[in-house]
Structure 1
Amino acid sequence: MRIIGGKLKGLRLNTPKNLPVRPTTDLAKEALFNILNNQIDFDDIKVLDLFSGTGNISLEFASRGAAEVVSIDRSIQCINYLKDTARQHGLTNIKTFKADVFKYLEMETEQYDLIFADPPYDLNRIPDIPKIVFEKQLLNADGLLIVEHQSMQNLSQHPAFVEQRKYGHSSFSFFKMLVS
């Protein structure tokens, strides 16, 4: 894994082998950030990274100038790795929390410009993520939710669904606030 843009571009992330993760591949991450480059200005955005794992996505957003990146994972090893990596590279814009994502979402009241969720692919509650995010109004008016999931899964039933982009066995589903 590596950081593909921003001030840490090219940095290789040497994650411990024992972390309970399935990181977003460099190919999928590069495709995702190419899409985002044309849609958002990374400077000063507030990002929520759910199921952050290694922090690969959090570090990418922080490297690109996000004002604040809040990273949530239930694994203390993942949280400690991300904290250490952020500290080592001077990324003071990353805040980490060890928590169950669904419990965190139920208590969260802040709004974000972008929410990224990369849950375990076998998690049966993946469709609940957009439901909770939009019911709790956790996105700013022009905010974006991105959920990474298996390509065979379809999340298009949610009214805020915009599109699905497939990259091999992984897909990103994009959701936006409905502006009336």
Structure 2
Amino acid sequence: MAKKKAKAVTTPATQALDALGVSYSLHEYTHDPRNTDFGRECAEQLGVDEARVFKTLVVQADGEFAVVVIPVSNKAVFKKVAAALGAKKADLAASADAERRSGYVLGGVSPFGHRQPMRIVVDESANDWPTVFVSGGRRGLDLEIAPDALLKAAGAVSASLTS
């Protein structure tokens, strides 16, 4: 899939992927500032199955910050998240910590280009699709990327993270 460059959109996520030479497509849509269900909004705006759009969550596992990437149609099972990270317990990080660690605002947290390095785990269901959609680093911008490219570029591992 070729990079679509209708507009010169640059975020830390796109910069990281470009530096690695990773192929992706950019998809912009109009974000409604009243909408806080960012992933579902993306799926609806782009006309894509919710199971193919992935949200990026910052978690704390035994005091360590990490990132999990799961379909917007599912909820994280934190026992599975903890197990995937080799931790006893995992919980969603506080919003301020998520934004500070990632460098992104909520609803725009990407699996790529974080301000501070964090381990990343992607739900294994990403492998069910030829490409998946993840945040491009701001609200209203998603990246379409092959699951193997997502894992490699993010330095991520794959695990079952949802029910």
State if a TM-score over 0.5 links the two structures: no
Larger RCO (CA within 8 A; separation ≥ 6): 2
TM-score of the aligned structures, taking structure 2 as reference length: 0.30
TM-score of the aligned structures, taking structure 1 as reference length: 0.28
